[in-house]
Amino acid sequence: MDIKYAINYIVQQQAKMQAFSHAANMLYFDSLTTAPKGGSEEFAQSMGVLSEAEYNLLVNNDMEHALDYLNEHLEDLDPLTAAQVKELTSQLNKSRRIPVEEYVAYEVLRNKAESAWHEAKYTNNYPLFGDYLARIIETCKRFSDYYAPGEDAYNVQLDGFQKGNTRQALDEYFSVFRRDILPLFKRISQAGDCIDNSFLFRTYPIDSQRRLSSYIMDVMTLDRKHCALAETEHPRTMIFHKNDVRITTHYYPNKLHASLYSTIHESGHAVYELNTGDALKGTVLARGISMGMGESQSRFFENIIGRSREFIDFLFPKLTELFPEQLHDVSAEKFYQAVNKVQASSIRMEADELTYSIHIMIRYELEKMLFDDALHTRDLPEAWNALYKEYLGIQVEDDSHGVLQDNHWSHGSFGSFPCYYLGNCYGAQFVENMKQDFDVTTAVREGNMRPLIKWLTERIYQYGKSIDAAQAIYNCTGTSFNPEYYNRYLIKKFGDLYGV
Amino acid sequence: MDIKYAINYIVQQQAKMQAFSHAANMLYFDSLTTAPKGGSEEFAQSMGVLSEAEYNLLVNNDMEHALDYLNEHLEDLDPLTAAQVKELTSQLNKSRRIPVEEYVAYEVLRNKAESAWHEAKYTNNYPLFGDYLARIIETCKRFSDYYAPGEDAYNVQLDGFQKGNTRQALDEYFSVFRRDILPLFKRISQAGDCIDNSFLFRTYPIDSQRRLSSYIMDVMTLDRKHCALAETEHPRTMIFHKNDVRITTHYYPNKLHASLYSTIHESGHAVYELNTGDALKGTVLARGISMGMGESQSRFFENIIGRSREFIDFLFPKLTELFPEQLHDVSAEKFYQAVNKVQASSIRMEADELTYSIHIMIRYELEKMLFDDALHTRDLPEAWNALYKEYLGIQVEDDSHGVLQDNHWSHGSFGSFPCYYLGNCYGAQFVENMKQDFDVTTAVREGNMRPLIKWLTERIYQYGKSIDAAQAIYNCTGTSFNPEYYNRYLIKKFGDLYGV
């Protein structure tokens, strides 16, 4: 073994891993977009073979030897290779610490749990899902102990979605959030229902909505040579590689804002991934840093930019061109107010910008209790409903519209929800610094996203996974994370809007 | 090694091969339908990794040992396992006889040749492609010698598309064809241009054409749980597995018959693959027998059924419902005549049913000469044009509309064209026997394809690749292949239509 050989080996393995993940993502994307339903069994079989092949490229003796050798010579490696070695070692350690039969059993459990969740949601029957949830949590805790023996299991989950994320840090951030934002929400609720958004629910022809999405892609600089738009039940971004990213949306004839803002949101994910550096191509570093950093981009463009007065001023002429009848009695100002209307809702996916993070806080508190055995899955619906009453003042209609609304837990994705909150906070902190470097407001009013994307590319996107979240935040702000920016942003925006 | 172990091994390898081919086909399908163009380099890389993985599943020592062992115990195997062993052994022998570096060099050459062909076609510059063609042929001949030392190289090519197909047999079949059909074509040409098909070139809205394709899929019994329709530049059928087959079409606003008949044609391919037996799933036998047998089904439904008077009688009310203005002055009889109008054309893909096989015969004769060194690739355009003049009486406009029109040769697909002719012949022979078993005419007049598909499934489809073409023909006819049926069919149909 020498350095050149070992580097060559890990480069080749990563290229193959990329090919298998490309293929698996493509099968998955097809299953969401065009696949006939009757092929689901063979789809699952092929996915299994591809994921096993990808696993075997990472978890094998040659890879272990190569990484052991390179870890012993880290100081001789260029920074990008060193970052690959670190990331591969981390992935390999995680994978090999779980006994294969337990991993397979967990995959089976997750599949069953997702089916049970689906049925429970559509029949409003939580008990169908409750036992599966308990077993998922138990497995997550057991796996946490394999990954990081003796560590707090919930912290291990959090770390999986963003390296270094901990409950200690989040407790502090959420206490800052709670301190300012719950009172702000209360003041707004007391101010009464003064914003009319009913025109958003008029009939908007799907064809014109499609043209709007295409226009949004242009504004977001999404080059059709590297990005395409499809339609799925739930909007999402699929990253095959930096030269091929697909975003999806869902058109509702009676909800103009749904596809408009989901297209901006997914475009935010897409610009990140499309602007990772060429040097990272084919390696494990050729992706965004973490879920939190990814959401910071999607939610930045969706909310901080997309729901700003400047952006609405820019967009409104296009909207009236596409929907002259539907918007004949609406002004840009009325549109701005409507898409920012604060309204407590039981459904996270329909939440406004202000209450969204409250939905997240509720989930975060419940996840901690579940992992601490302070809450039995049997009693989860009751606890869920109590927190919705306490924080948002609303009575959850039923479990389908309550604890069963999201599918994250059926996948075992505990610790992912807080990333949406972190993403919100990052965006608010970044934009303050961005404004010191150039005139963001004017660029947005002109619909010119290029300087924003350039600024973010220079500080975050180009590095892919070769830096961590803390480094990205430092690159953008010259300092470390501070949750106060987001509070200030919300207080200013919604205080002004509601005069509170 | 024991039998159980060896069988288990080849079953598992085939399941994995199926998964990789599923994934590769999906990437390819995506590249034809929705992929943004800028990802072509990574697409090629991923395809390379997947095809190497599939190759390694087949070509390795364990597989060789398992197949050697099973070949020694063929008499102890059930027929399906024996057929798998035979097919795998044949594939393995082919693959391992070519030195890997020569295979890789050939893939590079094919890619370059296809690009050169593309440019040559679009700039009408045959010499750009001629040298590549010479090198492709030279490589094919060299590979033939690896596969089957001492055998006639063109026969080896033919055998690759349909086992057992030879030039000796084809020479005989085409002499029968030439004997009757060239005179028939001459009589029709002399009868003059008495059929008006100009209404087919009116403006047919794409949306209504899409509804027509969907209706055709229903008529062809294509269950949407297992089959979906997409749009590509060139119509084709993609078989992922028997529970997921995609067909594609291309809509031209001014050519109603193009999408109508391509949808029927691809549906014919689809019903074959969708009706292979469940016992073959995940094995190398889970596909149609050969290109000739595949084309027999697509061209049977496209021409013998789809261009029959009964089918037009059935379809015409639907056509007038979808295109009331365009067809207001057209009768079912006029429509029948129009879609059967005989008209010599320089383009195979636009040929009518009668002249189609003449285009094939020209290519067959040229392929033989090229492989026998009786024709230099430099002189191919001249030879091409001379045969078009001789057989079809037309002057080829230029090489783009002549020798460069098809891409088959740029891929090295020599010996595939004759399969279209064989497919035409098989269909004509099958339908004669089908008519002895049930009232085909009445079923078609009612748009009821089920009894036809059932008859073909019982005799051909269910067996997949576990039987050969001769067996399928025997199952359908109780005898062996006879090219006279097709002549009789053409003489009757077109003799009646033109009164000659």
Return the number of other C-beta atoms located less than 10 Å from residue A54's C-beta: 18
Provide, for chain A, the percentages of residues in helix, strand and coil under a 3-state DSSP scheme, each rounded to the nearest 5: 70, 5, 25
**3-class state of residue B236 by DSSP:** coil
Query: Exposed/middle/buried for A280, CB within 10 Å: 0-12, 13-18, 19+?
Result: buried
d(CA B412, CA B105): 13
By the CB < 8 Å criterion, does B35 face chain A? yes
A204-236 pLDDT per residue, tens: 999 999 999 999 999 999 999 999 999 999 999
Task: Return the residue of B nearest to A53 by Cα.
Answer: B53
Q: Predicted confidence band at B344 (pLDDT cuts at 50, 70, 90)?
A: very high
A50 chain-B contacts, CB cut-off 8 A? 19-20, 23
Number of H helices, E strands in chain A: 20, 3
Between the alpha carbon of residue B236 and those of residues B33, B239, B263, the distances in Å are 11, 10, 9
Written as six digits, the tokens of B482 are 């006879």
Instruction: From chain B, pick out residues whose CB is under 8 angstroms from the CB of A12.
Output: none
Burial degree of A73 (CB within 10 A; 0-12, 13-18, 19+): middle
Asked if B43 and A224 come within 8 Å (Cβ–Cβ), the reply is no
* Mean pLDDT estimate for chain B: 96
CB pair distance less than 8 Å for A244 and B43: yes
Chain A residues 225-254 within an 8 A CB cutoff of chain B: 225-228, 230, 240-241, 243-244, 246
Query: Per-residue DSSP letters for B159-181?
Result: HHHSTT--HHHHHHHHHHHHHHH
Interface of A with B in 279-298 (CB under 8 A): 281-282
pLDDT band (50, 70, 90) for residue B258: very high
Residue of A nearest to B46 (CA): A19
Please give the structure tokens belonging to residue A150: 């003796």
Q: Tokens 């009236």 identify what position?
A: A320
What single-letter amino acid sits at B321?
E
Strands of B18-67, DSSP E: none
DSSP 8-class letter at A479: S
pLDDT of residue B362: 98
pLDDT in tens, B384-422: 999 999 999 999 999 999 999 999 999 999 999 999 999
A451 touches chain B (CB under 8 A): no
List CB contacts of B171: < 8 A, sequence separation 6 or more.
none
C-alpha dist (Å) from residue A425 to A296, A353, A488: 7, 12, 10
**Contact B196/B334 with Cβ under 8 angstroms?**
yes
- CA torsion, points B343, B346, B352, B358, in degrees to nearest 10? 100
Q: State both tokens at A10.
A: 């890990």
Scanning the structure block, which residue is given the tokens 């939440």?
Answer: A351
Q: Tell me the pairing of strands B244-249 and B227-231.
A: parallel
Pairwise CA distance, residues B427 & B311, whole Å: 16
SS3 A177: helix
* Mean pLDDT computed over B184-190: 96
For residue A103, the model assigns a pLDDT of 87
Amino acid in position A111: N
Determine, for residues B45 and A227 on separate chains, whether the beta-carbon distance falls below 8 Å: no
Put simply, the answer to whether B244 touches A43 (Cβ < 8 Å) is yes
Q: Give catalytic status of residue B266 as yes or no.
A: yes
CA angle A143, A148, A150 (to 5 degrees): 100
Site of tokens 């090694």: B1
pLDDT at B104: 83
Chain B contact present for A390, CB below 8 A: no
What pLDDT is stored for residue A95 in this prediction?
A: 87
Which among B54, B87, B266, B273 is annotated as catalytic? Answer: B266
Best CA proximity match to B69, nearest among B14, B1, B129: B1
Q: What is the mean pLDDT of chain A?
A: 96
**Rounded distance between C-alpha atoms, residue A217 and residue A211, angstroms:** 10
d(CA A202, CA A205): 10
In the predicted model, what is the mean pLDDT of residues A242-266?
97
Buried b or exposed e, range A230-253, using 16+ CB within 10 angstroms: bbbeebbbbbbbbbbbbbbbebee
CB contact under 8 A, A37 and B223: no
pLDDT in tens, A335-356: 999 999 999 999 999 999 999 9
What is d(CA B31, CA B234) in angstroms, rounded to the nearest whole number? 13
Q: Are strands A237-241 and A227-231 parallel, antiparallel or unpaired?
A: unpaired
Q: Which residue has the tokens 């400047």?
A: A310
Phi, psi of A239 (to 5 degrees): -105, 110
Cα(A426)–Cα(B33) distance, integer angstroms:
38
As a dihedral over the C-alpha atoms of residue B177, residue B182, residue B187, residue B193, rounded to 10 degrees, the angle is 110
Provide mean pLDDT across the span B324-329. 98
| Strands laid side by side in the A237-241 sheet | A227-231, A244-249, A237-241
Cβ-Cβ contacts under 8 Å between A and B: the total is 112
**Which tokens go with A48?**
């299994």
The position carrying tokens 């502090």 is: A172
How confident is residue B111, by pLDDT bands cut at 50, 70 and 90?
confident
Closest by Cα among A26, A165, A160, A38 to A93: A160
| pLDDT value for A419 | 97
CA B437 to chain centroid = 27
Binary contact (A30, B30; C-beta < 8 A)? yes
Instruction: Quick: pLDDT tens for B54-97.
Output: 999 999 999 999 999 999 999 999 999 999 999 999 999 988 89
In this structure, which amino acid lies at residue A166?
A: T
pTM above 0.95, yes or no: no
Quote the percentage of chain A above a pLDDT of 90: 95
Where would I find the H helices in A460-500? 469-477, 484-498
Of A418, A438, A417, A425, residue with least CA distance to A488: A425
- Cβ atoms of residues B366 and B374 within 8 Å: no
In chain B, residues 454-483 whose CB comes closer than 8 Å to chain A: none
